[in-house]
Chains A and B, each alone.
Chain A
Amino acid sequence: MTLRERAFSLWQATESRLDRAFGAGANPLRRLGAIAFLLFWAAAASGIYLYIFLDTSAAGAWRSVEAVSREQWPIGSVIRGLHRYASDALVVVMFAHLLREYLAGHARGFRWFSWISGVPLIVLLYASGIGGYWLVWDQLALFSATATAEWLDWIGMTSEPFARNFLSSEQVIDRLFTLFIFLHIGLPLALLAGMWVHVQRVSRPDSFPSRNLAAGTAIALVVLAAAWPVQSLPQANPAQVPATLALDWFYLFPHPVMYATSPGALWAMVTGAAVLLLVLPWLGRKSRLPVAVVSAGDCNGCGRCFADCPYSAIVLVPHTSKHLAPRMAEVQPALCAGCGICAGACPSSTPFRSSDAFASGIDMPGRKIAALRGELERALAALRAGPRVVVFGCDRAADVAAVRAADTAALSLICAGMLPPSFVEYALRNGADGVLVTGCADGACDYRFGQRWLEERFAGTREPHLRANVPRERLRVVWAGNGSLPELANCVASFRASLTERRPGDESIMRPKRALQASHAQP
């Protein structure tokens, strides 16, 4: 296990602990991207309110911001605090998101686009945030504007140094404030556009947290804003240099770094960090997971895989055999995560097909549906004592091999969402007393929609659905997650106990349709 993998295990353990407080679906550590969107909107909405009252002149800006804090207390003060703290929290969440995705190995492979498109967002967020401080035009604003200008001047882009704009009161003119405002509106808009691009490679992006998480985050920020009001420093005066400054370290830490080193050193650090982040997807080992493969002869172009793919890796194209269907699925390998959710969505992935060596319309080369049927049949044939339970698990969650026993068969899939619902019925009809499906922690599917689609298929609200005549008491879904093996073992035991209680009256519910075909059960 590499250092990165060890660190990610630690991160996941922390996530699992937080699941107890929030539930996996509303766990902030699992929803960092969505929280980032929420914080952006909180900063934008509060910023619009503040802009209404901002005097966009060098002489009036400071006074107008102070008026919002003092004359509109407590509403104005809280909204100003919300603007500041939501922006600060956005920095924290952004770096946590970056760290999590790196530790999870998401900088590489098919996710490279999301990684690369995220790098400019860091620059845009800092440019937006630092520029926002200038609008207050207090001592901190003057310090930050001057420091930024000195940094930019190091590369000598302009004939006159930017810093000359902030050296005396007569040089700080209202037109300069127009530029500040243009930057503080334009850059966040560019940031929003960049965030939109950032999530383009995933379908149904997680761009808003659950209601509970959104409410919790909003309440926490409002309480912080009320308890710890944001205050301006004295009005900017170029003739005076404050000895000390109450700095917002989330955004303004580059200024002290520059004064402790030099503008050139800061440029080297920023450029080096950006280059490192940009080349990260191409550093180290290259491991390419097998991607989904379409069998044209078995694809009727129903579009279910297209609808269910969490990464928009499937497109519908004209069918190669027009007499079969007008269109068929086509996998875009560069976008495919290799999760197999498409195979679970394919109506041809049914084990009830009579062919011994059938092919699904779309399948995973390393985990074929036909082979899964054979594995299931062998496992069912090997089960001895009862009640006999089949556990379908997920490679990304608790290792189901640990619950395998004489009365328990365990099969692991790439993702729980890869399981075609008909496999549940097939197992029950062929000797299983119950089927337990498990996967990542609730709401934390590593492939985004595996759980959701599976639950909807079982509930009959998504195709292919689990038939209504399958007794639901013989099916249990447990989102145990990685590292929750004891919980999974307990669930299997309690499920078996419930089957034992029910068994005398239920034996005829799922009578085998036919005996297992020996050929299916052969390795």
Chain B
Amino acid sequence: MTRTSPARYLLQAAFYLPLMVLIGYFSSAPVFVHLPAGEALLRLSIAHAAERMQACRERSQEELAKLPPNMRAAQDCPRERSPLLIELEIDGRLQLRTEALPAGTQRDGLATLYHRLPIAAGTHRIVVRMRDRPQGEFNYVREETLNLAGGDSVLIDFNASRGGLEFRR
């Protein structure tokens, strides 16, 4: 077969054709079932700096006098923050109860939580509770009845300036 014979071009086409079909096909198929039909998605995403583990206290005059002049802050505030305790309840059943630790070696950063939960479409009573202090009852609670269609995505977030826990769609 010579370099320019038509048979050679046909053989080359026979090589390229299945390769290009393979590339074209797997470039967009088969479809990936991300969320089964009739399901919605709940996403719990919280990033919040919790209260300190120990409350700040006023320093005495003697204590302040012992400190270098540039470090004489009136209050002594231990850096460590409390973990967040979070509960998610759907239709009366507890789906999630977890503790999110503050970031940082001194545990003084934001505590974050990200959790995704597929949920059947329909009407659901959803309760979220959060505690951002070392002890006591949940100090943030939000309760909603949601009518979810298949493919809906609901975000449960925390925004202190907007009153705490919130549902967003």
Task: Give the contacting residue for A241; candidates B19, B35, B157; CB below 8 A.
Answer: B35
Which residues of B1-36 are within 8 A (CB) of A?
A: 1, 3, 8, 11-12, 14-16, 19-20, 22-24, 26-29, 31-36
- Interface range on chain A (Cβ under 8 Å from partner): 35 or more
Q: Which residues of B contact A250 (CB under 8 A)?
A: 23, 26-27
Query: CA–CA, A217 to B40, complex, Å?
Result: 44
B28 A247 Cβ-Cβ under 8 A: yes
Task: Give the contacting residue for B152; candidates A160, A241, A259; CB below 8 A.
Answer: A241
With both beta carbons as reference points, the residue of chain B lying nearest to A233 in the complex is identified as B28
Q: Is the interface of A mostly helix, strand, loop or mixed?
A: helix
Decide yes or no whether B169 CB sits under 8 A from chain A. Answer: yes
B26 A249 Cβ-Cβ under 8 A: yes
User: Whole-angstrom distance from the CB of B107 to the nearest CB of chain A?
Assistant: 12
Q: Which residues of A contact B34 (CB under 8 A)?
A: 143, 241-245, 259
Q: Which residues of A contact B20 (CB under 8 A)?
A: 85, 220-221, 223-224
CB 8 Å contact bits of B104-145 with A (1 = contact, 0 = none)? 100001101010100000000000000000000000000000
B45 A256 Cβ-Cβ under 8 A: no
- For the complex, count residues of B whose C-beta is within 8 A of A: 45
- Total A-B pairs, Cβ < 8 A: 124
Decide yes or no whether B43 CB sits under 8 A from chain A. Answer: yes
Decide yes or no whether A155 CB sits under 8 A from chain B. Answer: no
CB 8 Å contact bits of B58-75 with A (1 = contact, 0 = none)? 000000000000000000
B35 A242 Cβ-Cβ under 8 A: yes
Q: Which residues of B contact A224 (CB under 8 A)?
A: 20, 23-24
Query: CA–CA, A217 to B19, complex, Å?
Result: 11
Q: Which residues of B contact A164 (CB under 8 A)?
A: 45, 47, 114
A88-B27, A241-B152 known; A23 and B3 CB under 8 Å? yes
Can you add 16 more A-B contacts, CB < 8 Å, to A28-B15, A163-B114, A223-B20?
Answer: A85-B24, A88-B27, A92-B22, A156-B103, A159-B112, A160-B47, A167-B45, A224-B23, A239-B169, A242-B35, A242-B151, A244-B32, A246-B31, A247-B32, A248-B26, A255-B32
Interface residues of A, Cβ cutoff 8 Å to B: 18, 20-23, 28, 84-85, 88-89, 92, 143, 150, 153, 156, 159-161, 163-164, 167-168, 216-217, 220-221, 223-224, 227-228, 230-231, 238-250, 255-256, 259
